[in-house]
Amino acid sequence: MQTWCLAGICVLLGVVVRWGVSLNSYSGAEKPPMFGDYEAQRHWQEITYNLPVREWYFNTSDNDLSYWGLDYPPLSAYHSLICGCIAQIINLEWVQLHKSRGFESTTHKLFMRTTVLVADILIYIPAIVIYCLWLNDGTVKRKISTLLCFLIYPGLLLIDCGHFQYNCVSLGFALWAVLALGQGQYALGSMAFSLALNYKQMELYHALPFFCYLLGKCVEMGLMGQGLLVLLRVAVTVLVTFAFCWLPFLSDPAQTLQVLRRIFPVARGLFEDKVANTWCSLNIFIKIRSILSSDFQLYLSVACTFLAVLPSCIRLLMKPTFWQFKLALVNSSLGFFLFSYQVHEKSILLVSLPVCLFLNDLPLMSVWFLQVSTFSMLPLFLKDGLLVPYVVTSLAFLFFSISLLSPLEHCSEEELALRAYHKLLFSKMDLAWIVKWKFYFSILSMACLSIASVTLSPPTHLPDLFPVIVSTFSFLHFLGTFLYFNIVQFSALPSKKRQKKNK
């Protein structure tokens, strides 16, 4: 009972923090003609409520795709339809066709913020609670500490409750899928992950680990016996879930193709804004978009992404344990973020979710990455007027994670899961001392760059100086994290405690 009371307090605190962030500005506030992501979500409610399903993804006189055309899978559109139906009951002006474009009011902001919070409470937060209390080892204090830090991770809070999106829905479904697989419920996990994919196509970042883990488990059980039955059950579950989500679009092949074209827009180019991945960072020195054709850029990114995630996936396929599965989720999503085509800065949230799963096992590297991931989106937060919530939530997360998880006390080679590589790489070095000072330097650098981005004006001939520095600085951290988690995945399990997770 005490555990659940403490968990309830953590959830209440997480909800309060979310609502506090939501009181601030949002993407595109009072910035016509396109406004921002807030208007995109409102516009999708307008379109899905007023137009028949067959017109949702097509350019028509009532649906101008150049004005925030729907570009997420069907489940996301159904969510917009539900919100639109509720909105028209409260105030028809919020979703009135054509006339509601750019609508802004205090009451509408309250409604939109509430829809995010409700989705968070119904889908994402319960999955966090169950994971931290059931699939985490350690004392009650350790589990509650992990839960609190998971709940107040600032990156997701600032994007969903500040900038304005519904990442909590797709990430929540993905986390439910992880929970199901952790309990051996493979069909249920497949259904949950299929829902995540049908809400946001970016969940493809996590798709290969799910596929390899399930296939590896089936092979382990025997493809001529129980494994074949499990494989068939999983395949049927995925097909039925996709068919259910895509049912209105399957009667006409033109509808299906148009939806696919909308959710995979390759015409946008290799990258747009200053994102902390390989291509944007490399473009500082080599103008990739100028010297390579669009087609070659696409092929190059696909090849590099495949090569980056292949070792991790092969390792998982050969050794399908839950510990390996979680590591593969980090390596796959980070590989996609670093090398794939048309990556947005917000896509780092797809990496942050599996990293949060290691807050209890690898606290230092997890806290460090999560802090950098939030910092990597600083230009976006400044653009949206979210400086104050960025500072407050980042400091709060850093304070609570260091106070409760004690990451700086868990940085020996064994606790970093690097014992197998100590003699090879760190035989004459004090690894704990090196890691601690790198962490201190990194945090200090992020603080200085944050202050500089706000207080200093860049040179006129380098208007994007600070966003470029922020993205490059973050990219170096992400690349280091990618190498670290790959090393850990190919290491033996670092302690007896984690061998329980190897089942």
pLDDT tens-digit series, residues 477-491: 999 999 999 999 988
Provide the pLDDT for residue 137.
85
Instruction: Retrieve residue 411's tokens.
Output: 């940085």
Yes or no: say if 344 and 275 are a contact pair by the CB < 8 Å rule: yes
Yes or no: say if 48 and 81 are a contact pair by the CB < 8 Å rule: yes
The pairs formed by 85-91 with CB atoms below 8 angstroms and a separation of 24 or more are 85/49, 86/115, 87/45, 87/49, 87/111, 88/49
Q: Considering only 9-18, 22-31, 381-390, 486-495, which range has the smallest mean pLDDT?
A: 486-495
Instruction: Retrieve residue 390's tokens.
Output: 């960025």
Tell me: cis bond preceding 33? Omega within 30 of 0 counts.
Answer: yes
pLDDT class for 496, splitting at 50, 70, 90? very low
Residue 427 CB partners (closer than 8 Å, separation 6+): none
pLDDT class for 419, splitting at 50, 70, 90? low
pLDDT class for 265, splitting at 50, 70, 90? confident
Provide the pLDDT for residue 426.
53
Mean pLDDT of 392-418: 89
Provide the pLDDT for residue 62.
94
Provide the pLDDT for residue 289.
82
CA distance 84 to 216: 42
CA distance 469 to 273: 13
Which residue's structure tokens are 């993205």?
471
Yes or no: say if 100 and 108 are a contact pair by the CB < 8 Å rule: no
Higher confidence at residue 288 or residue 235?
A: 235
Residue 23 has pLDDT above 70, yes or no: yes
pLDDT tens sequence across 174-226: 999 999 999 999 999 999 999 999 999 999 999 999 999 999 999 999 988 89
Q: Taking the CA atoms of 352, 384, 78 and 266 in sequence, report the sign of the dihedral they define.
A: negative
Instruction: Retrieve residue 175's tokens.
Output: 């986390």
Q: Return the closest-CA partner of residue 280 out of 341, 330, 333, 346.
A: 341
DSSP secondary structure string, 380-434? HHHHTT-HHHHHHHHHHHHHHHHHHH-GGGS-STTTTT-HHHHHHHSTTS-HHHH
Residue 156 has pLDDT above 70, yes or no: yes
CA distance 225 to 304: 37
Longest dimension (CA), the chain: 70
Provide the pLDDT for residue 386.
97
Mean pLDDT of 309-322: 96
Yes or no: say if 238 and 190 are a contact pair by the CB < 8 Å rule: yes
Provide the pLDDT for residue 182.
95
305 to 39, 106, 203, 312: CA distances (angstroms): 32, 43, 15, 12
Provide the pLDDT for residue 503.
53
Mean of the per-residue pLDDT values of the chain:
92
Residue 33 has pLDDT above 50, yes or no: yes
Residue 477 CB partners (closer than 8 Å, separation 6+): 368, 369, 372, 442
